[in-house]
Structure 1
Amino acid sequence: MSRVLMVQGTSSGAGKTTLVTALCRIFANSGYRVAPFKSQNMSNYSYTGDDFEISQAQAIQAVASRAEISPHMNPILLKPLGNYRSSVLLQGKFYKKMTADTYYKKFALTKGFQIALESLAILQKKYDLIIMEGAGSPAEINLQNYDIANMLLAEKTKSPVILVTDIEKGGSFASLVGTMSLLSKQHQELVKGFVINKFRGNINILTPGFKRLKQITSKSVLGVIPLIEMDLPNEDSLDNKIKLFKKQNTKKLDSEIERLAKTIKKNLDIKSLERLIQ
């Protein structure tokens, strides 16, 4: 069975997708056979392969991994339709339209989780390392019992979790402490460290905050990622620069991924991450 590592965030937009993309390339460059995995993704930006459709983000992460794009990398894709309804795609195929209430209360913990674990098992037979991406925040206490994209998955797979937060928006220390406080003790223990994302300025300014974080949570900061200008599509945005993955220049995309990976590798404790997956 292959190893697993999971990246979760204190919020949507914290940098999970970017960090997973970079880690896929970093570990691929180190000789691992790597694959990305996101059990459940909500996005209208998708990649269409040979008779399947998954989130654009996981397709790009597959390129970062130098792996064949597979529907098992994003076994559940929710495409919002408005009025709390979504089209649900399972392992790349349209399944049915559902309301949010039906999805969470009647589907997620039964067929949904079963499908996600089935896809993960298929990937684990083929790859050395699966880098999993969470969705939104693991501390949405109104949804925690149905949240198959974050801690329930990490618990089931016994995956170490890295928690990333966006410092550019402010309140990142409070977001980390607040997220940890809203997790059960069992799930807190799965979190192995923090990553501060989108930082501008002198890192020494943050040192007192790191010490206080360690005192409160017992977890360390594994890296501070600077704000990086990238020419990569966002996961789901109204940004005009969004383009469908199939129209991307793959050579240019690969070059951007490599640049991203080099920058993040310089600012992240990769040795600690390697120890987590041993």
Structure 2
Amino acid sequence: MIQGTSSGAGKTTLVAALCRIFSDEGYSVAPFKSQNMSNYSYKGDGFEISQAQAVQAVAARAEISPHMNPILLKPLGGYRSSVLLQGRFHKNMDAEYYYKKFVLKGGLKTAMESFSILEKQYDIIVMEGAGSPSEVNLQKFDIANMQFAERTHSPVLIVADIERGGSFASIVGTMALLPEKHKRLVKGFIINKFQGNTRLLQPGFKKIRQITSRPVLGVIPKVALNLPNEDSLDGKVDLFRKQNRKLQAELDKLAKTVKANLDMKYVRGLLK
């Protein structure tokens, strides 16, 4: 599972890259995100999921499935959202009801059911977390990060966006706020969106290793990509057919960049 120190750290893009890398190596691969919040979605044949998992499925060369994003929350305003389960509308809920009454019961059950279905169909499932796993006010209700990794016995890699600044502190802080049982799931860190000489980062890597006992597995450079943005997928079911060649080329470029800058031997060693 790829988790992040914050929203926008690069989880979605990194999952897409790993899906393509493992697909290139001959594995059958599926992306998965148990819960996503977005008003932008991919509409398939009788189902609707987050645009991110649709692009990741294309990267994996897998058929887009509602089980790749079993819970989609579409904000309505006023702390209310439309809740879609396995691609179909379930009901509208306010945030209090969703977290206190639904997410740990019906939500988690639905997500686990979808994961089990994909697990039977694919060699590898590359999961994406949401936001940060260290939001202590939400950890009890967070089924997109460590709770799900724990239930599925999945190793976790944490990615940090160095372009924002404070990436070393965010990695250490994230680890400090995790319960011990969840710290044990974390196998390493990835620095994303770097521009410059990676040798300058070595003192930071050494300090992170001293504090957390985990390695930095790679530094991914900032790269210009022309992947579909969020609103371009809404209602355009044939987008992938129209732009297939262009999209495939962008995904290949992404995978090549990540593979060249990530310790893939270590990552492959985490596979079950």
Both structures adopt the same fold (TM-score exceeding 0.5): yes
Give 1:178-257 correspondences, 5 Å limit: 178-234=173-229, 236=230, 242-244=231-233, 246=237, 247-248=239-240, 249-257=243-251
Quick one: which amino acid aligns to residue 61 of structure 1?
Answer: Q
Match of 1:104 among 99, 107, 111: 99
Partner of 2:253: 259
Alpha-carbon distance in 2 for matches of 1:195, 1:251: 29
Quick one: which amino acid aligns to residue 40 of structure 1?
Answer: Q
Percent identity between matched residues is: 67
Partner of 1:123: 118
Partner of 1:62: 57
Q: Deviations over 1:201-247 (max 9, x none)?
A: 0000000000000000001000000001000134x5xxxxx411633
Match of 2:90 among 89, 92, 95: 95
What secondary structure is seen at the aligned counterpart in 2 of 1:135? coil
What secondary structure is seen at the aligned counterpart in 2 of 1:164? strand
Structure 2: any 5+ residue segments left out of the alignment?
A: none
Alpha-carbon distance in 2 for matches of 1:137, 1:14: 9
Alpha-carbon distance in 1 for matches of 2:77, 2:190: 33
What secondary structure is seen at the aligned counterpart in 1 of 2:157? strand
Quick one: which amino acid aligns to residue 141 of structure 1?
Answer: V
Alpha-carbon distance in 2 for matches of 1:202, 1:233: 30
Residue 35 (str. 1) matches residue 30 (str. 2):
yes
Quick one: which amino acid aligns to residue 45 of structure 1?
Answer: Y
Alpha-carbon distance in 2 for matches of 1:106, 1:137: 22
Once the two structures are TM-superposed, the CA of residue 46 in structure 1 deviates from its matched residue by: 0.3
- Give the stretch that moved more between structures: 129-138 or 245-254: 245-254
Quick one: which amino acid aligns to residue 9 of structure 1?
Answer: G
Quick one: which amino acid aligns to residue 29 of structure 1?
Answer: D
Alpha-carbon distance in 2 for matches of 1:60, 1:251: 13
Once the two structures are TM-superposed, the CA of residue 100 in structure 1 deviates from its matched residue by: 1.0
Alpha-carbon distance in 2 for matches of 1:130, 1:63: 14
Alpha-carbon distance in 2 for matches of 1:266, 1:13: 22
What secondary structure is seen at the aligned counterpart in 1 of 2:232? coil
Give the RMSD, CA atoms, in angstroms. Answer: 0.9
Quick one: which amino acid aligns to residue 260 of structure 2?
Answer: K
Alpha-carbon distance in 2 for matches of 1:36, 1:224: 22
Match of 1:14 among 9, 12, 18: 9
Find runs of 4+ consecutive structure 1 residues off by over 4 angstroms.
Answer: none
What secondary structure is seen at the aligned counterpart in 1 of 2:127? strand
What secondary structure is seen at the aligned counterpart in 1 of 2:13? helix
Once the two structures are TM-superposed, the CA of residue 83 in structure 1 deviates from its matched residue by: 1.0
Structure 1: any 5+ residue segments left out of the alignment?
A: 1-5, 237-241
**Count of residues in correspondence between the two structures:** 267
Match of 1:148 among 143, 148, 154: 143
Q: Deviations over 1:127-175 (max 9, x none)?
A: 0000000000000100000000000000001100000000000000010
What secondary structure is seen at the aligned counterpart in 2 of 1:243? helix
Alpha-carbon distance in 2 for matches of 1:250, 1:120: 27
Alpha-carbon distance in 2 for matches of 1:108, 1:25: 31
Partner of 1:276: 270
Give 1:70-89 correspondences, 5 Å limit: 70-89=65-84
Alpha-carbon distance in 2 for matches of 1:27, 1:55: 22
